Structure 1
């Protein structure tokens, strides 16, 4: 369990494989409102891969959405991230700074988890 996940923050689904079908299903299950964004990002990644003659943009797309799913499959962690994101608009610079730190910690932990660490 990573530090970003509170004790008892049981995942709603297992972490999916970083494949298009598995990620698409996870997005549809956890955050269906983000499916249009998922498909737009997918299309952009495949176009960029073709333009660059490289699979790197596709791998980056898989990693990006793996991180989204890693966060969203833990309800408490997702709520913390969304609260931090809301804090970015706060007029108080101290609140904004705490929000930046909190969001950064959550996202870095999710990247580590998706990377297998």
Structure 2
């Protein structure tokens, strides 16, 4: 039995470099490119001002997780549904949706750690 197209990642997970992540975002979520660029500029400015690469590491870690989720159509759709509940739901719904989002983010980080050998 083969998995449906919705179960297959749109692209392989790219390396966690600015260039590779930018290309992935352009391919799977082009509407997010302005946010990617804005956040990259902010991280670069913070890194320069603080003489510290931590802001750039946080930036690439964040966007690697974003790509990990967005490259999987069903997962990305569920993530957006949960974000909508968090934005508009009742308190109990918001708590449950936020917990599910947290688990999804943890799972994405875990998948990235396994693939990078960390």
Normalising by the smaller structure, the TM-score range is 0.7 to 0.9
TM-score when normalising by structure 2: 0.87
1:54: which partner in 2? 52
On the 8 A contact 1:45/1:61 being kept in 2, the answer is yes
User: What value does the CA root-mean-square deviation take over the aligned residues?
Assistant: 1.4
Moved over 4 A (4+): none
Unaligned runs of 5+ in 1: 1-7
Unaligned runs of 5+ in 2: 1-5
1:114: which partner in 2? 112
1:33: which partner in 2? 31
1:68: which partner in 2? 66
Matches within 5 A, 1:70-85: 70-85=68-83
2: CA distance, partners of 1:53 / 1:24: 24
Aligned pairs, number: 110
CA displacement at 1:94 relative to structure 2: 1.9
On the 8 A contact 1:67/1:111 being kept in 2, the answer is yes
CA displacement at 1:59 relative to structure 2: 1.0
Helix, strand or coil: the match of 2:7? coil
CA displacement at 1:91 relative to structure 2: 4.2
CA displacement at 1:52 relative to structure 2: 1.0
More helix per residue: 2
TM-score when normalising by structure 1: 0.88
2:3: which partner in 1? none
